[in-house]
Structure 1
Amino acid sequence: MTSRSRGWVVGRIAGAPVLVTPSWFLGAVVLTLVFAPSVRTWFAPHMPTTGVLVVAFSFVLLLFASVFLHEVAHALVARRRGHQVTELALTLWGGHTAYTGAGARPLDGALVAVVGPLTNLVLAGAFWVAFQLQPTAGTVPAALLLAGAFSNAFVGFFNLLPGLPLDGGQILESIVWGATGSRSRGTLAAGWVGRAVAVAVLAWALLWPLLEGRRPSWVMVVWGALIGAFLWSGAGDAIKGAQARARVATLSARGLAVPAVAVPVATTVAGVSAAAARNPGVVVAVVGPAGEPVGWVDPAAVANVPAARADLTPVEAVVVPFPPGSAVTPDLEGDALLDRLARGSSGARVVPVVEGGRVTGVLDVARVAAALRR
C-alpha cells in the first residue's frame, strides 16, 4: 500500500481524502511575509502593518485555492480514466495528487497532467475578466483579482514546461512513451529535460537582471534557487525511477528459475535422493496425482534422515509446501512477475514454475530480490 502524507483530513474529493500538511502552514507564513512588502509598495502605502499582512495572506489563500483547484482537476480526470485517487495534499510547494495505476496508459498520464495547468489558465482568464469589471483599479479587491490573474497564468504556463516533475514533463513522458512503447525512455527524456529546466530557472533569476543592466534581486535569486532545487530533485527521482523500471523489465521467471525434477507425493526419501543424484544441480519438487505442485524438498531435511530409514520415510517428512495458488509461468516478466509474486507467494521463500501443466522449476523470491538490487 502507498503511504499517505502526514496531515489533517479536511474533506474528500473523488473518493480520496484532502490533506493539509504541516508544511503548508510554513509555506503560507513565508509567502505572506514575502508578499507583504509588495502589497505595501504597490497597493497600500499608507495601510497599517496588520492590514498589509491581512491583504498579503488573502493573496496567499487565493494562490493556494488556485493550486487546490489544479489538483482537484487532476483527481477528477484520474478517476474518470478509471484510476483510484488515494489523496490530494496541500504542501509547502503547493500540492500533489496521488492515484493508483499512474503508469497504465500513456494517454491517461497526458490527460491527467494537462488538465491541471489548463485549469489555472482558465482561472487566470476569469480573474482578468473580473478585474476588468472593477470600477476602480486601485482598490484592494481589484489588486487581488489582478494578482490572481497573473499568478494563475504563471502557474499554468510554468507547469506546462516539458520537464519532470512538472505537468509538462508528464505530458512529454507520455508522448515519448507512446512513440517508443517504453515508459522508461519517456521518463528518462522528461527527467533530463526537467534538470535543464531547473538550471534555466536559476540562470534566469541571475542573468536576466544583468542583461537589463540591473543587479539581481536576492529575493528572486533565493526563489530561483529553491524552485531550481525542487525541480532538480524531482527530475533526479524520476530518472532513478526510470532506471529502476528498466531493471525490473529485465527480470523474467524463465531466467531466474532453478530447474526442478518432479517426484510423486508417494515417493520416499530414498527416492528423492535417487532423483537428485540423477539430476545434479536441480531442485526436487513434489507433485500430486494430477501433477499439481505440492512442495519442494529441503536438502537439509533429507540429510537429517538416517540412511537406514530413507526407504521407510515418506517424502512429506522433508517437503516444504507451496502456498496454494502460488505457481508462476515461465513467461512472466518485469512488473507482471513482481505483482504475481507479491499477490500469490503468501510470504513463501520458493514458488513453483509451471508450464503446460507440468512443474519445470522453482523460483526463489530472494533470488528475484537480489537480481532487482543488482
Structure 2
Amino acid sequence: MSPAPRGIPLGRIGGVPVTLSWSWFVIAAATVVLYTPVLAAQYPRLGAQAYAASLGFAVTLALSVLLHELAHAWTGRAFGWPTGRIVLSLLGGHTHFGDVRGTPLASAAVSLAGPAVNLALGAAGWAVLRAAQPEPSLGWVLLDLTAWANLIVGLFNLLPGLPLDGGRVVEALVWAATGRESRGTVVAAWAGRALAAGLIVAVAVAGLWRETAAVVLTVLVAGFMWQGAGASLRHAAVQARVRGLTAASLAEPAVVLPAEASLADADRVVLDHLAAHPPGPVPHVVILHRGRRPAGLLDPGAADAVPADRRAATPLTAVLRGLPEDAVLDADLREEQLLRAVARREHPYYVVTAADGRPVGVLSTAVLERRLAG
C-alpha cells in the first residue's frame, strides 16, 4: 500500500479524502513573490492589495484544481473505480485510485471530466465579467485571474501528451485501436515529452526567457511533464513485462501437509513429488491449520538442522516459517492486479490458491522482481 501523503488533511469531500501537500505552500509563496509586481504594474490602483490578489489567486486556483480532481474521482466512481484520495500539490493535484480494471472508454471519460470542469468554471467567470463593469477592485481582479486561469488550465490539460489528461485520451485511443494499454501509454508518454520540449522552445522563440516569472513557470511545467512522461514510460515497461502473467504461472511448486504432520512426513511427501516430477525443483511445503487455512511454510534451514533420528518426532509447527493471513493470492490474479496485490501486502512469500481454496503453489516476491527486471 502506498504511504499516506505528507501534508494537511482537509477531511472528506463527497466521500473522497483530500490532503493539501506541503509543497503547495511553495507554489503559493512563489505566486505572491513573482506575480505581485506584475499585478501592481497592470493595476496600479490596487496598491498593497496586489499582494492579497496574488495570494487569493493561489487559493482560488487550488480550489479550482480540487474541483478538477473531484470530477476525476466522481467520474471514476461512476465506472466502479475505488477512489483512494486526492492530493493537492506543487503543480496541481492528483487523484489516487484503488484496484482499477479499466477500459479505454472509462479511462477517456475519467480523464476528460477534470478539464471539462475547469472550462466550465472559466466560461462562467468570463460570463460574469462580461456582465459587470471592469473595475480594478480586488474582487474583480481576482475573478478575472481565476476565470482566465481555469480556461488556460482546462485547455492545457487537453494537450495530447502524458501526464496531462489529454495524454490519457491519446492513451485510450491507441489502447482501443491496438488492444494493448501499454502501447497507448508509450505513444502518449513520448507525445508528452515532445510537448515539454516544445514548450521550452516556444518560450525561447517568443523571447520570454528574459522574464523571470515566465522562465520559472516554464521550467516547472516542462520538468513536471518530462518527469511524468518518464514515469509513464517506466510503467508501460512494467505493463509489457507482466502481460499475460498470472499468480499461478509464477508460482513455484508446493506440497501440502497438515500442521499435525511430522518432519519425516514432509520428507516423504517431498521425495514422492520429486520422483513424480523429475528433474523439477524441490517444492515448498505449505503447512495448513485444522481450518485448512495456510499457517506458513516449512523453513528449509530449520528443517535441515534437525537430526535424522529426531525428524519423525518433530512436528512441522517446530520448523514453520509463519505467514500473515493476507499472504494468500488467488491463482487467477493477473498482470497489474497481481502487482497491486503484492505491493499492498509486501510479504516475501505468498501461498497461491485455486478457486476452492486449495494451495497450488508458492509465489516468491524475489521471483516476481526478477521477472519485472527482465
| TM bin (shorter chain) | 0.7 to 0.9
TM-score when scaled to structure 2? 0.79
Which amino acid is 1:228 matched to? A
Instruction: After superposing the two structures, state which structure 1 stretch, 160-169 or 245-254, moved more.
Output: 245-254
Structure 1 residues 355 and 261, CA gap change in structure 2 (3 angstroms): farther
Structure 1 residues 75 and 329, CA gap change in structure 2 (3 angstroms): closer
Find the counterpart in structure 2 of residue 74 from structure 1.
Answer: 72
Question: 1:239: Cα distance to partner?
Answer: 1.0
| Counterpart-to-counterpart distance in 1, 2:145 and 2:317 | 77
Find the counterpart in structure 2 of residue 9 from structure 1.
Answer: 9
Secondary structure of 1:161's aligned partner:
coil
Q: State whether residues 128 and 146 of structure 1, in contact with CA within 8 Å, keep that contact through their aligned partners in structure 2.
A: yes
| C-alpha RMSD over aligned residues | 3.8
Structure 1 residues 177 and 322, CA gap change in structure 2 (3 angstroms): farther
Find the counterpart in structure 1 of residue 211 from structure 2.
Answer: 217
Cα deviation per residue 1:317-370 (whole Å; 9 max; x = unaligned)?
Answer: 897589689776766542344466678x99573636769998775544432333
Question: 1:95: Cα distance to partner?
Answer: 2.2
Question: 1:206: Cα distance to partner?
Answer: 0.6
Find the counterpart in structure 2 of residue 181 from structure 1.
Answer: 179
Find the counterpart in structure 1 of residue 369 from structure 2.
Answer: 369
Secondary structure of 2:154's aligned partner:
helix
Calculate percent identity across the aligned residue pairs.
34
Task: Determine if the alignment matches structure 1 residue 275 to structure 2 residue 263.
Answer: no
Equivalent residue in structure 1 for 2:110, among 91, 109, 112: 112
Greater RCO (Cα-Cα under 8 Å, separation 6 or more)? 2
Q: Residues 1-374 of structure 1 correspond to what in structure 2 (within 5 A)?
A: 1-44=1-44, 46-48=45-47, 50-102=48-100, 104-209=102-207, 216-249=210-243, 251-253=245-247, 255-259=249-253, 268=265, 271-272=268-269, 275=272, 278=275, 279-283=278-282, 304=305, 316=316, 320=320, 333-338=334-339, 347=347, 349=349, 351=351, 362-374=362-374
Which amino acid is 1:275 matched to? D
Question: 1:248: Cα distance to partner?
Answer: 2.5
| Counterpart-to-counterpart distance in 2, 1:61 and 1:233 | 26
- Equivalences, count: 363
Q: Which runs of 5 or more residues in structure 2 are unaligned? A: none
User: Which protein is bigger by CA-based radius of gyration?
Assistant: 1
Instruction: After superposing the two structures, state which structure 1 stretch, 1-10 or 184-193, moved more.
Output: 1-10
Instruction: After superposing the two structures, state which structure 1 stretch, 175-184 or 111-120, moved more.
Output: 175-184
Q: Which runs of 5 or more residues in structure 1 are unaligned? A: none
Structure 1 residues 47 and 127, CA gap change in structure 2 (3 angstroms): closer
Q: State whether residues 261 and 283 of structure 1, in contact with CA within 8 Å, keep that contact through their aligned partners in structure 2.
A: no
| Counterpart-to-counterpart distance in 1, 2:19 and 2:332 | 42
Instruction: After superposing the two structures, state which structure 1 stretch, 131-140 or 249-258, moved more.
Output: 249-258
Q: State whether residues 352 and 359 of structure 1, in contact with CA within 8 Å, keep that contact through their aligned partners in structure 2.
A: yes
Which amino acid is 2:142 matched to? L
Which amino acid is 1:117 matched to? P
Structure 1 residues 319 and 362, CA gap change in structure 2 (3 angstroms): farther
